[in-house]
Structure 1
Amino acid sequence: MKKWIFPMMAIVMFLLLSSCQSSETTEKKKTDNDDPLAPLEETAKVVIAEDGSASGAGFYIAKDKGYFEEYNIEVEFATFGNSDEMLPAVASGEVDVAGGISTASFFNSIAQGIDVRFIADKGHNNEGSSYFTFVVREDLKDEITEYADVEGKKIAVSSENSVDDYIYHEMLKHAGISTDDVEFVLMSDFGNMMAAMGNKQVDLALQIEPLITQGANQGIHQRFLDATAYAPEAQIAMVLGSPKFLTDRRDVALRFMAAYLRGVRDYNDVFIKGEDDGGEVISIMANHTALKDEELWREVGVTGLNPNGYIFENNVVDQYEFYKENGAIQGELDFDKVIDMSLVEEALDIIGKYEE
């Protein structure tokens, strides 16, 4: 009987080891499956409508630093001539994500049935270094120093019934000056604004970076105070999401948002906190945007991007009401439906909040 003891013990040991290995494998699979940001089993393509604007920083950084790839997401950038073409593509799911700038026509499109969601911040002013703010002509910088000094002056603004117009009116309100006491000059091209300042055709202009810094360096204009003094929470642009992307492809959308926020956080680390990353983020921004001068990136007032994703919801409604009071809105918007921060909140529950 003894000759059977060792073979039997070997069989028992083999079964015990197999059972343990099987249990470990099952547990490992369970752990992997429990990871809410585990890479997707199959590569998913996400189409982003983006035109190289600086406010797309989160997309560019997440792409070039491999955050999307980490989750097995492949991003494709698509360009559209205008929002009239872009919004229907987002609503239909042809485009998953896009950027939207606050205008009456933008809100009207949604009110009239174009179904999109505002899902994250894509542009606001940073206190003290607004990327979208007023400038004053160089030869008038000592004459126009306070808000009250704009009375009687010619002020260039790029559009009416838009966030530009809203900021313009907020500035006048802050100054205690009526629109009848200034001359509004509609000038749609920011480059033309700088030329008009140089030719002394206008006195002030609501200008944008990098033209603010370039004009100052060329002795054409100087910053006129800062837009955050009178419009501290102006929501200039939002990340838009297709309803199909947010529902039918929620697992992809969650990973996309996590990658996007990671990109925005790297951007904030460099431009807001002043951390040194060896120039990687600046190089990415120069590669994807029209501003190719990496040294100038160290001077400009950069687009504000919330590293926790939230938009200024109340301000979005305020702007809508402003357009409505001007008679520029046809139809009503259900902002409880249009503004959807659920994806941001779901991502934050996993990656945690950014410490400002």
Structure 2
Amino acid sequence: MAKRGSGVIQAVAVFFLVVVSLWGAGPLGAEPLRVGVLRLTSSAPVFIAVEEGYFKEEGLSVELRFMKSAQPVAVALAGRDIDVGATGLTAGLYNALAGGLDARIVADKGRVWPGYQLVGLMVSNEAWDKGLRRIQDLPGRRVGVTQIGSTFHYMLGRVLQKHGIPPSRVRVTPLGGVKNMMDAVATNRIETAFMVQPFCSVMEARKMGHRMFWVSEHLSYQIAGIFLSGSVARQKATALSFLRAYIRGCRVYYDNCLQRVDGKEIRGPAFDRVMDTISKYTGRKPDLIARGLNYNDRNGVLLAQDIGTQINWYHENGLLQKRPDPAKIVDTTLVEKALSQLGP
């Protein structure tokens, strides 16, 4: 698995080193804050903060820039095409940070968490009918991911590791984007591929494939984060304004969608409005979205200790040129300050 991705990782690393050398730290001025994001349920707090006017109340003009997978968000941040990233924590991002990218990971934007459904391994109907139904059946099979070094690649490696299966026994297959993965499984062009919500629910509802497992059944993981360019992070007023609005979005999502009593889902009064907001940005029907709502921390608090675990795995599997120091790339103080200003 490491050899297959080495050429790609080296090319990406060279690109990052070039754009990092051009990185500036000037003020944002009156320009909109450009946020790189994917059209996923886990982006709900960002969508809510836009729709409810929380960013505007903070005096911020926010421009959402939509991308097909997590790695291009890191590339866009390195190339100064965005100011804020709101997506998965990938080898590409860590390579950029190790190479000198001036940015900080500051907040939660989605976790793989027990009891909540975010990422599933989907199996094609043809492969399912032929008996591909367990993790132990994966050796020799193709598993679709967006890109080498992506969050999906990481989850595959960690799940295999937990079950004692060498990663070299599985054929990791990069397909470029979530829609490509869904189409490949639905048309039996690949045996399995990872999928995020609401697409797992969409595929099951439309009988486009079968779910083998939820990753949260095997792994707890800070899959996605909010990361700020160095210039935004140093402009404390701007950073705190963004995070206060974002945290308010997190709270609306959590309080109306994620609360549980004795393991039973309790829907808040704004549940339908939140579903409509997610539907607007993902293009999926509210009832499908509601079937699988992933976990986001209510206060946007990052599971900071997991960052080091991720870096170690990527490095040990040949996907990082060198290890970035977690203490230098993670900054939890901004969220702590924003929370003290917002109150409970």
Q: Please indicate the TM-score interval, normalised by the length of the shorter structure.
A: 0.7 to 0.9
* Equivalent AA in structure 1 for residue 277 of structure 2: I
What is the alpha-carbon distance in structure 2 between the residues aligned to residue 121 and residue 262 of structure 1? 13
Matching residue of 1:231: 219
- The gaps in structure 1 that reach 5 residues or longer are 1-42
Please report how far the alpha carbon of residue 146 of structure 1 lies from its aligned counterpart in structure 2 after TM superposition.
Answer: 4.0
* Equivalent AA in structure 1 for residue 207 of structure 2: G
Identity of aligned residues (%): 25
Counterpart check, 1:190 vs 2:182: no
Matching residue of 1:344: 335
How many residue pairs match? The answer is 304
Matching residue of 1:162: 150
* Counterpart selection for 1:305 from 296, 299, 314: 296
| Contact 1:120–1:310 (8 Å) recurs in 2 | yes
Cα 1:98/1:295, change in 2 over 3 Å = same
| Contact 2:133–2:212 (8 Å) recurs in 1 | yes
Q: Secondary structure at the match of 1:99?
A: strand
* Equivalent AA in structure 2 for residue 339 of structure 1: V
Cα 1:194/1:53, change in 2 over 3 Å = closer
Cα 1:198/1:76, change in 2 over 3 Å = closer
| Contact 1:47–1:75 (8 Å) recurs in 2 | yes
| Contact 1:50–1:56 (8 Å) recurs in 2 | no
Please report how far the alpha carbon of residue 161 of structure 1 lies from its aligned counterpart in structure 2 after TM superposition.
Answer: 2.1
Q: TM-score, normalised by structure 2?
A: 0.77
* Counterpart selection for 1:219 from 196, 207, 217: 207
CA RMSD of aligned residues (A): 2.8
Written as runs of structure 1 = structure 2, the 5 A alignment for 1:102-121 is 102-121=89-108
- The gaps in structure 2 that reach 5 residues or longer are 1-28, 260-266
Cα 1:314/1:172, change in 2 over 3 Å = same
Please report how far the alpha carbon of residue 230 of structure 1 lies from its aligned counterpart in structure 2 after TM superposition.
Answer: 2.2
Cα 1:243/1:324, change in 2 over 3 Å = same
Cα deviations across residues 98-129 of structure 1 (Å, max 9, x unaligned)? 22432222211121111000011112224334
What is the alpha-carbon distance in structure 2 between the residues aligned to residue 347 and residue 112 of structure 1? 29
Q: TM-score, normalised by structure 1?
A: 0.75
Please report how far the alpha carbon of residue 278 of structure 1 lies from its aligned counterpart in structure 2 after TM superposition.
Answer: 6.0
What is the alpha-carbon distance in structure 2 between the residues aligned to residue 70 and residue 78 of structure 1? 21
Counterpart check, 1:150 vs 2:138: yes
* Counterpart selection for 1:250 from 232, 236, 239: 236
| Contact 2:312–2:323 (8 Å) recurs in 1 | no
* Counterpart selection for 1:276 from 269, 276, 279: 269
Cα deviations across residues 255-313 of structure 1 (Å, max 9, x unaligned)? 321111011111112221221316221222222x23242232222x2343212212222
Please report how far the alpha carbon of residue 174 of structure 1 lies from its aligned counterpart in structure 2 after TM superposition.
Answer: 2.2
Highest CA radius of gyration, 1 or 2? 1
* Counterpart selection for 1:175 from 163, 167, 171: 163
